[in-house]
Amino acid sequence: MNEAIYTKLRLAAKLAIVALCAAITFCSCSSPQNADGKSPIQAETSGENADEPKEISIPDNLPEMDYGGYGFRVYIRDTEGRNADFYAEEENGDLINDAVYKRNKTVEDRFNIDIAPILYSDEWDSSAERAILAGSDSYDIMAMHGVFSFSFAQKGLVLDWLSDMPYVNFDMPWWNDDVTKGFAAFGSLYGVTGDMSHLSLASVMGLLFNKNLFKDMNIDYPYAEVIAGSWTLDKFYAIVKSGGADLNGNGAITADADRYGLHMPNEWGYPIAVLYHGGDRVISLDDENVPVLSLYNPRTIDIFERFFDMLNTPGAGCIGNVPNWGNPESIDVFKDGRALFVAAGMGAIIEYRAMEDEIGILPYPKYDSSTPKYYTPLEAGVNLFIVPITSPDTERTSIIVEALSAEGHKTVIPTFYEKALKTKHARDDESSSMLDYIKDGVVYDYGYFNNTLTGDLQCVGVRLVTSKDANFTSFYEKNESKIQKNIEKLR
């Protein structure tokens, strides 16, 4: 290892002891509304053909550079379609693939580079860490599992997006300014995601509902309540509890034959999202940007009590592969037309397009009518982008990343959001507008992504539904002191 890289490693390691881990920037999945009530995508687009995604024209103010055919290396997972943010070999007629291909080509032509995705198949790959420790400059940026990226920051292996990336401008609309400031723990950001990643938008959570079943049961679609700000947890659970039915008349409601109110495909979805109905989060930052444990309060106590009251109502809810609320993971109750709701990421709208029954889209409900927004978490498995300390040219990296984000904001995100979701797969105008509410309320929780800091409190809902004791208070009290000690070490 050369001396310069070794010095970087030692310095970064010292900084990591102070900062402990990366503060995350999750960008454009959360888009606060403008004064006119429109989301930024609605307000910034132009064009007359509603069937076509509308390009957003905002200059990125980057210098014109010629990098002589440089191969820009993006280290990215080849699992669960996570490479789709960058990997598009050619146009093939798929809306998103073609938008990504054109974005890449535009940036390649502009700066005379060749975007070269380097795929790895292990979700928790360690070869990149070994390469950095060995001083290899094999990667310009790395797209890691959102949670796993923190270990790189803790070990001092990544650069600070705020101080080391001179041309990344977090004031631009392809980055979320509020989230950037809110998650810059200790004034540093080591991992980001933005409009260069449409998969982050696909990982935002919401509800799909079976319109046929709603009609059969004479239940009004909740669209008007969402718009009025009155779509609340009480109203949601009331519908969910009414949904169970012993269809085969054998005296028990089971996932293989009967109807449920709410289908949860696994314990990693809605059981995690429960915490966020009121806008709470595992970790908040104080006035000095120091992490503070904030998930336990009277509101969250009430939220978990209501959640388990719902689960204990026969036929109300089933969770895939969780024995306590038995639903075999291989049985998709919602897809079979035997559930009123399914809790799913926005990308699941596309997955359910083959259903015979008509489906609608809704945000997760508010805790109560005074809650400011319809909050929802970003799933922690998203691509989180980090820059290794061995990256050979941070100025070049920052220019290319900013250009990819700006071009993604202009073309890829509108294609994914406006056409793939709204036009092609959302089956009514009301559902299309619901996507704006979902996008507007995304919570980017430092504590949810930072499981090294928060341990079992990272995803309380998962731990509770898979344990014998589902008491939130006792679980919190059991873990609080350990997490507080972890936080104290950061000060």
Kindly state the average pLDDT of the residues 195-214: 93
User: Mean pLDDT for the chain?
Assistant: 86
Non-local (6+) Cβ contacts of 112 within 8 A are 66, 67, 68, 69, 70
What CATH number was assigned to the domain covering residues 205-377+452-488?
3.40.190.10
| Centroid of chain to Cα 384 | 10
Q: What is the pLDDT of residue 181?
A: 73
450/207 Cα distance (integer angstroms): 26
Task: Give 421's pLDDT tier (boundaries 50, 70, 90).
Answer: confident
| Residue 300 in tokens | 């969250």
Of all residues in the chain, the percent with pLDDT exceeding 90 is 62
Nearest one of 157, 74, 77 to 123, comparing CA atoms:
77
Q: Taking 50 as the threshold, does the pLDDT of residue 16 lie above it? A: no
Nearest one of 356, 332, 28 to 202, comparing CA atoms:
28
Choose the weakest-confidence range: 130-144, 179-193, 393-407. 179-193
Nearest one of 466, 20, 437 to 231, comparing CA atoms:
437
195: alpha, beta or left, given left = phi > 0 and alpha = psi -120 to 50?
Answer: alpha
| Residue 345 in tokens | 């990421």
Task: Give 475's pLDDT tier (boundaries 50, 70, 90).
Answer: very high
3-26+43-202+380-443 is a CATH 3.40.190.10 domain: yes
Choose the weakest-confidence range: 69-78, 104-113, 220-229, 431-440. 431-440
| Residue 373 in tokens | 């927004």
Task: Give 178's pLDDT tier (boundaries 50, 70, 90).
Answer: low
451/203 Cα distance (integer angstroms): 19
Nearest one of 144, 117, 116 to 128, comparing CA atoms:
144
427/411 Cα distance (integer angstroms): 23
Q: What is the pLDDT of residue 239?
A: 98
Choose the weakest-confidence range: 113-127, 161-175, 197-211. 113-127
Of all residues in the chain, the percent with pLDDT exceeding 70 is 88
Q: What is the pLDDT of residue 272?
A: 96
Task: Give 456's pLDDT tier (boundaries 50, 70, 90).
Answer: very high
In the chain, where are the structural domains located? 3-26+43-202+380-443, 205-377+452-488
Largest CA distance in the chain: 75
317/428 Cα distance (integer angstroms): 26
Choose the weakest-confidence range: 13-17, 78-82, 125-129, 482-486. 13-17
Q: Taking 50 as the threshold, does the pLDDT of residue 448 lie above it? A: yes
Torsion of CA 432, 434, 437, 441, to 10 degrees: -110
* Of 353 and 365, more confident: 365
* pLDDT tens, residue by residue, 248-288: 999 999 999 999 999 999 999 999 999 999 999 999 888 88
What is the phi/psi pair of residue 249, to 5°?
65, 25
Neighbours of 208 (CB within 10 A): 24
* pLDDT tens, residue by residue, 139-171: 999 998 888 887 788 889 999 999 999 999 999
Q: Taking 50 as the threshold, does the pLDDT of residue 332 lie above it? A: yes
| Centroid of chain to Cα 10 | 33
* pLDDT tens, residue by residue, 86-98: 999 999 999 999 9
| Residue 297 in tokens | 């309060």
Amino acid at 62: L
Burial of 362-386, coded b for 16+ CB within 10 Å and e otherwise, reads bbbbbbeeebebbbbbbbbbbbbbb
Q: What is the pLDDT of residue 428?
A: 85
CB 260 within 8 A of CB 333: yes
Q: Taking 70 as the threshold, does the pLDDT of residue 41 lie above it? A: no
Give start and end residues of each alpha helix (H) in 342-412. Answer: 348-351, 394-407
Q: Taking 90 as the threshold, does the pLDDT of residue 60 lie above it? A: yes
Give start and end residues of each alpha helix (H) in 316-459. Answer: 348-351, 394-407, 413-414, 429-440, 446-449, 451-454
Q: What is the pLDDT of residue 123?
A: 66
Q: What is the pLDDT of residue 26?
A: 35
Same fold, 3-26+43-202+380-443 and 205-377+452-488: yes
Q: Taking 60 as the threshold, does the pLDDT of residue 419 lie above it? A: yes
Q: What is the pLDDT of residue 53?
A: 58
Q: Taking 90 as the threshold, does the pLDDT of residue 47 lie above it? A: no
